[in-house]
Amino acid sequence: MYTSPQNTHVSYRLLSGWVFFGFLAATNAGAGRIPGTPAYHAPSDVSAGEALGVLAQDCDWLPGESVGTNAPACAVTTWDPDGPGPQAELLVVGGDFTVAGDIFANKIAAWDGSAWHPLGSGMSGADYPRVYALTAYNGELIAGGLFTTAGGVTCNYIARWNGSAWQPLGSGMNNAVCALVVCNGELTAGGYFTTAGGVTCNRIARWNGGAWQPLGSGMNSGVYALTVYNGELIAGGNFTTAGGVTCNYIARWNGSAWEPLGSGIAGANPHVSALSVYNGELIVGGGFSTAGGEQCRMIARWNGSAWQPVGGEMNDHVLALTVYNGELIAGGVFGNAGGVTCSRIARWNGGAWQPLGLGMNNWVLDLTVHNGELIAGGYFTTAGGYVSCYWARWACDVTCDLDADGDVDEDDFWILVSAFGTCTGEPGFLFEADFDGDGCITLFDYGRWLQCYVDTNGRDFVPPIVRPAQAVPVDTGRVADRDD
């Protein structure tokens, strides 16, 4: 599984000339409130538990709402064709297939929420062509894998899609690309290759928009996973040295040189297959028994200075990691997580592993989040007991009746406000209120609640307390600091 930072979308909902930010400036968003604002107190008829925003959710794998692919899905990601424009974000799936739903889609296809679409004529060339990795860079979709043409154009092992045609990135690589991520404005690719754009780049290279460049002397074996942690590029795989330095299967690039993460990982045939970030820690999945000398079977966490286990061990390989609804999601080959039966997929809430329904009947290879749903791709053909050919969607039906009193009203609004502005791992964060699953309670979640209110009551909702809108700097959709 190859993770990349997700785009954050900020929605502004105007209400009769007033802006939600203005309203929040006069209230409190729990522990994440704007500095200088008074403490929020729930209405007297809302219990303490309700004030913490206990949401009713019914989560499960969705039954086959559409036909999947005809062969395994190895990579899943999201891509917005027009960035902040009106077009909806797409789910993109890559793998070994030639059909998606009822259309021909050679190794790659896009899902718009109701139907599959091909991306040109897809990929071909090489023996057993397939797509292993996907991400977005400079507004374009990037695909890496084992192929030599994309859309009929020579694109050696990596290609970019601009919405209408495939194009190469320089002369490409001389072998498979297995992982992609964007770090510090550059696209980084990892895999089995030893040249990129004709330049020696051992198993890892960066693209600055015009040319490929090496990262030091690279690795001595394959790179399978990439992510960004604390502003640094992290690479995992089957290597034991990076830049000539001993880095057992995982390494970090500080901008000029490779460095180890402690003593790395170890075990029988060890390797790192998946990387993600959760609660401010780097999460590493793969095939290993120890990390930094600590017993951490198949999954471990790095806090910046030391390795620790993530709950109990897994009984087999972890191949994919992501974050959904404030929880860490792991997928792979395992059937047990922390002593709990979890068939190929499990969730970690910070204290314990739990299953996601009945799980899958075969390996999970990649994970992402799209339109508030958890997306899995892999070798499986059933998910939650439903036929689900090589891809599946896990979703939660969420009620906006937050205090469960049978009405959607002002009291529910105050409960939402108590969590507004917080993110995963912060005091007051409520994963149940994170409707879009991006890890933060933002204006997008507020908009979801507003729509639920309108759908339920048939009329617009106007906040009970407002103040004139004031300019508030916004970056990631969270409430920004401001001076009254």
Give the C-alpha separation, 339 to 101, whole Å.
Answer: 37
pLDDT digits (tens, 9 = 90+) for 94-138: 999 999 999 999 999 999 988 999 999 999 998 899 999 999 999
| Average pLDDT by stretches of 10, the chain with 484 residues | 32 23 28 26 30 46 78 97 89 97 96 94 94 97 98 98 97 98 97 98 97 98 98 98 98 97 97 97 98 97 97 95 94 97 96 95 97 94 93 80 73 82 80 69 80 72 48 32 32
> Considering the entire predicted model, what is its pTM?
0.75
Residue 313, Ramachandran bin (φ over 0: left; ψ between -120 and 50: alpha; else beta): beta
What is the sign of the dihedral through the CA atoms of 344, 294, 288 and 147? positive
What are the structural domains of the chain? Answer: 14-56+408-457 (no CATH), 58-398 (2.130.10.10)
User: Residue written as tokens 């899905």?
Assistant: 73
Helices (H), 64-196: none
User: Residue written as tokens 């795989």?
Assistant: 237
pLDDT digits (tens, 9 = 90+) for 257-272: 999 999 999 999 999 9
